Structures are given as C-alpha cells and as structure tokens.
Amino acid sequence: MKIVFATHNINKAKEVAALLPNIELVTLEEIACFEEIAETATTLEGNAAIKANYVTEKYKLNCFADDTGLEVDALNGSPGVYSARYAGEDGDAEKNMDKLLNALRGQENRSARFRTVIALNLDGKQFQFEGVCEGEILKEKSGSKGFGYDPIFKPKGYTTSFAEMSMHEKGKISHRGLAVAKLIAFLNTL
C-alpha cells in the first residue's frame, strides 16, 4: 500500500517510516508538494486534518498527516498546538526549549505529555488516531539524538530523555509511535 505522509520534516518522516515496514511511505517532496501547509486550527486534531485534506484534495492521493504538541501542566497545557512556534515564527528547537525551561524556572510541577494526532484520508473517508506519552520536563537539556523538545523530555518510567534513546527505543513508547501503532493496526484490518 502506498500512502503520502504530509510532512516536510525529514526526521519525522524517517521516524515514521521505520514504524511502517509494510507501507510504501511517500513524502511531500516526492509528490512535488513544496508549499508549507498552513496549520491554522486551534487543535491538534484540526491541524492534522487540514494537512491531510490539503494533499488529498490537491493531489487526489491517500494521505495521512500528524500534529504533535507538548502539553505542560504547570503552563495550563502550553505550548500545546503552538509547540513548533512557541518561541515565535522564526523560532527553532533550541529557542523553543530555552523559552520553556525559562517558563518553568523554579517550578516544582514539571509534569508534561507529548500528544500526537494522526488524520488518515483513505478512499474518501477520514480516520483519526491519538498517541500520548506522559513524562516530565527536565531542568536542563540532556542527549543529542532526536529532535524538537526531545533533550528536555523524560518519559514516565524512564531515567533518560528522548534525546538519549535510539530511534527504535523511542518509537516503541513515544506519542508518535503509539499513534502510528494504532494507524498500523487499522491498516492491517483492511
């Protein structure tokens, strides 16, 4: 089965491709979609649907898209849907992490979760799958693997950050890995 994964993030594409061994994953670049798809919704579910719908409508292809947010309890669920742009439109992972660490300075409650929602457009229908990974925000960055907030997020029950785990180890427990597992289980029923 061939499905487009609506992302320009090469790290995310590699991570998901490793979890979908029986699916031919096609990237936006491979279908010559180079435009940025505006994420204008106020929920992860809405942004995932916007991206999947854009590809399906414009290219007439089965597609899935995801949106992920880091929800920090002490910040009332922020940065949430704005995680990628937390430090501003020109922000990057380092600036986002620095802003979050500063916002939590002196805060004892460091509980947080990563939440991923996948919207799958398949043969004219849309399905959504969610994955959640509970954990906490570390007080400083640790590790050099992964991407995004990985160096400051430690999953519950583990002693290391996502950035200290192999892609395989992270994939088994991560929010995206859990959402993709639900996607795979669904595709296997077809």
Altogether, the residues listed in the chain come to a count of: 190
Give residue 76's region: left, alpha or beta (phi > 0; psi -120 to 50): left
Half-sphere exposure of 183 (CA within 13 A, CB side): 31
Is residue 67 annotated as part of the catalytic site, yes or no?
Answer: yes
Find, among 163, 80, 71, 142, the residue nearest to 111 by Cα: 71
Cα 53 to Cα 63: distance, rounded to the nearest angstrom:
8
H or E element, residue 62: none
Given 67, 73, 90, 92, which residue is catalytic?
67
Cα 51 to Cα 104: distance, rounded to the nearest angstrom:
32
H or E element, residue 73: none
What's the alpha-carbon Rg for the chain, to the nearest Å?
Answer: 16
Place of tokens 């491979």: 30
Cα 159 to Cα 22: distance, rounded to the nearest angstrom:
32
Task: List the catalytic residues.
Answer: 67
